[in-house]
Structure formats: C-alpha cells, structure tokens
Amino acid sequence: MKFLDEAKVWVKAGDGGDGVVAFRREKYIEFGGPDGGNGGKGGDVLAEAVEGLNTLIDYRYAQHFRARKGGNGAGSDRTGAGSEDVVLRVPVGTQILAEDKETLLADLDAPGRRVVIARGGDGGHGNAHYKTSTNRAPRRADKGWPGEERWIWLRLKLIADAGLVGLPNAGKSTILAAVSAARPKIADYPFTTLHPQLGVVRLNASEEFVLADIPGLIEGAHEGVGLGDRFLGHVERCAVLLHLIDGSQPDPVRAWRTVRGELEQYGHGLAGKPEVLALNKLDAMTPQARASRRQALERAAGRPVMLVSGATGEGVPEVLRALAVEVAAARAARQEAIAPSPSAAAD
C-alpha cells in the first residue's frame, strides 16, 4: 500500500428538502385546511478517525464527496425523510485544514473521534407551518436550505511516542528494524527511506512505545532541498526525539548542527522537545575515534552522548531505556492534565 499523508477533497452536504403546499380534502369535511409538510434535513459530511489505517491513499483518486438532499414534504402533514450522513474514514492523527491550508478545523488524534465538516441544510416549511387564526389557507411553502460545501485538506501526522531524526545514512532504519518488527528498506545510499515508518518497541510485558522513522534531513531541507522537511510533521506529536549521528563520519558536530538547524527552521516546537543524542555505527569506529568524537559532540551539544550500534545491538537497550523514561514522563503529564482536580471532583 502506498503512503500518502496529504490530500485535498471537496465536500458538499445535502440540501434540505422542500416544503409543500397541500390542503386536506376529504368527503364531508368542508374546510379541511392546509396540511403541507416540511422538508427533511440534508445529510451531513463527517470525518471519523478509525484504527487500522495509516495512509490517506483512499483520497488520492476519490476527491469529491456529496451527501444526498433531504426528502420533500407531503400532504397530511408528512415531513420529508432526512438523508444519511457521509462519513470520511481517516487514520488516527489526521488534521483537517481549510482550503488556505493554514486554518485548522479539526484534529482527529484519538480513535472514534469524529467531526462535522459540512452541515446539511434544514428542510423548508410547508404551508401548514404558516397557518394562523387570520391566515387559514396559506399558500406559501419554502425551499430547503442549501447544504454547506467547501474544499478541505487532509493532513496525516502519525501518532508516535518517539521519533528518529538525523542525516541520510545515519542508520535510522537499521535501528528501527533492530528494535521493532518493522522492516524498512535498508541500503548503503542516501534517502533509502522515502516515507515515514512506524515500529512498536516492546521493552517488557508492560512497557512499550511507538517509534517513528522519517526520511533524512540535509542542509536546506526547510527550503525543499532533498526530500525537504514535509515529513517532520510526523514527529510533531512525539514526546522525545532520538537524534542519530553517523559516528563513522569525521565531523559528527557538523552533522548535529545541520539537523538542529533544520529543526529550528521548521518550528512547531520540535527544537524544544527532549532529545536523546546517540552516536551510531559504534562497530565502525576505533576506540580512539569513539572517545574523541563523543567528547567533541558532548562539548558542542552540552549534553551526554550515548554510543550505539544498530548492526550489532551494542548500546541499544540503554538508548531504548532513555527513550522510555521520557515517554513515560510525557504520558504521566498528559494523564495529570486531563484528570479532574480534587476541588473540581468535590464540586
């Protein structure tokens, strides 16, 4: 299945049904009076986050969605039938943006969450609605109200607890394959990863978290160089970033500064997220190179640097434990934020 994280679609809610002009006509009932019913409501267009989806490919070719018009009213005060809603099923983590691609309409970040994108029109009134003591035979009936229509953007931001960032060929895909059941493409050339990959990391029976790997960043990514920074949106929701640096390269400090610069240019709070810094490809370095490059990177970054090898597994448990600590802290903070305060619970 192809990965698609952005799609533009047109939605049109159903128009309301028309009201009718009708009069009661029965034998032996001389002035039956008006009995024209109201029109039914047009169908809404909704979006719902469902589990089991991780791409917007369904909206690559089907881009127009229209709900049906409500039923017209009828005599004997019969109201027209309301039309069924049209539901767009999208992956969890999908954002709905207005046509300007900036105004956020909804963020479907939990399974089962749904939102009305376009509301159906109300049905028009039949002439029975306008009957009064002074207007006993109204001949007025209204057309149904039009349903809303608009162009919207669907943008998927994958739900992950931790994200992998780094230059191309830093070994991110190797790490993901080593710690999870994900099987990303691994090769010795840049930009092997062309779209985000997710893997579930299980530390033990009770601890697990989701790790996301995105295509590598290069200098100028925020200006569209390489694959650009469009995939950074998939790590915006992460609690912590694992910044991998190729330790086999002679200047790891420059690599670290390049990626940090792109994160700062991208914004959206990525540069301020907790970061675990790891020097990868430990198996390809001499003991002297390990010590010197680690020391230089710690001096530049001002934080501890871990040593890891995705190929041999050396240092991997320590890195995963560091990520798990940050993920657990973020989850605890979210639970505390949504839990009611003691005073509110007492009220």
CA gap 104, 99 in Å, rounded:
10
Residue 181 among known ligand-binding residues: no
Exposure of 333 in the CB half-sphere (CA atoms within 13 A):
7
306 located within any domain: yes
User: Average pLDDT for residues 74-81, to the nearest whole number?
Assistant: 91
Are both 144 and 178 inside the same structural domain? no
Q: Tell me the residue type at 145.
A: W
- The answer to whether residue 72 scores a pLDDT higher than 70 is yes
Task: Kindly state whether residues 132 and 167 are assigned to the same domain.
Answer: no
191 is in an annotated binding site: yes
Number of domains in the chain: 2
Q: Binding site annotation covers 180?
A: no
230 within some domain: yes
| 214 assigned binding-site residue | yes
23 is in an annotated binding site: no
The reply, when asked if residue 234 is annotated as ligand binding, is: no
Same domain, yes or no: 176 and 152 = no
- Is 169 annotated for ligand binding? yes
- Does 41 count as an annotated binding residue? no
Task: Tell me the C-alpha distance between 120 and 266, whole Å.
Answer: 38
Q: Is 343 a domain residue?
A: no
Q: Is 133 annotated as a binding residue?
A: no
96-152: pLDDT as tens digits? 999 998 899 999 988 899 999 999 999 999 999 999 988 888 999 999 999 999 999
Q: Average pLDDT, stretch 235-261?
A: 85
CA 327 to chain centre: 20
- Residue 233 makes CB contacts below 8 A (sequence gap 6+) with 5, 155, 157, 268
CATH number reported for the structural domain that contains residue 264 in this entry = 3.40.50.300
Asked whether residue 190 is marked as a ligand-binding residue, the answer is: no
Asked whether residue 47 falls in the same domain as residue 139, the answer is yes
pTM above 0.85, yes or no: no
- Non-local (6+) Cβ contacts of 345 within 8 A are none
d(CA 216, CA 186): 13
Of the two residues 2 and 320, the one the predictor is more confident about is: 320
Q: Is 43 annotated as a binding residue?
A: no
Tens digit of each residue's pLDDT (9 = 90 or more) over 266-311: 887 878 888 888 888 888 888 888 888 888 888 888 888 888 888 8
Domain boundary among 130, 156, 182: 156
**Last residue within a domain, chosen from 94, 123, 156:** 156
Residue 135 is assigned to a ligand binding site: no
Q: Does residue 345 lie within any of the structural domains?
A: no
Q: Which domain holds residue 10?
A: 1-156
**In this structure, is residue 11 part of a structural domain?**
yes
* Residues 189 and 333 both lie in one domain: yes
* Within-domain flag for 347: no
In this structure, which amino acid lies at residue 187? A
Looking at the fold, whether 179 and 151 belong to one and the same domain comes out as no
Mean pLDDT of 20-42: 87
Lowest mean pLDDT among 26-40, 57-71, 74-88, 175-189: 175-189
Residue 37 marked in a binding site: no
151 and 186 both lie in a single domain: no
pLDDT of residue 67 exceeding 80? yes
| Residue 145 shares a structural domain with residue 207 | no
Per-residue pLDDT at 9 = 95
Q: Are residues 183 and 299 in the same domain?
A: yes
284 annotated binding-site participant: no
Do 229 and 129 fall within a single domain?
Answer: no
Band (334; pLDDT cuts 50, 70, 90): confident
- Beta strands of 177-225 (E only): which ranges? 197-202, 208-213
Residues 68 and 90 in one domain: yes
Do both 124 and 198 map to the same domain?
no
- The residue from 93, 128, 156 where one domain ends is 156
Q: What CATH number is attached to the domain comprising 30?
A: 2.70.210.12
Establish whether 79 is an annotated binding residue: no
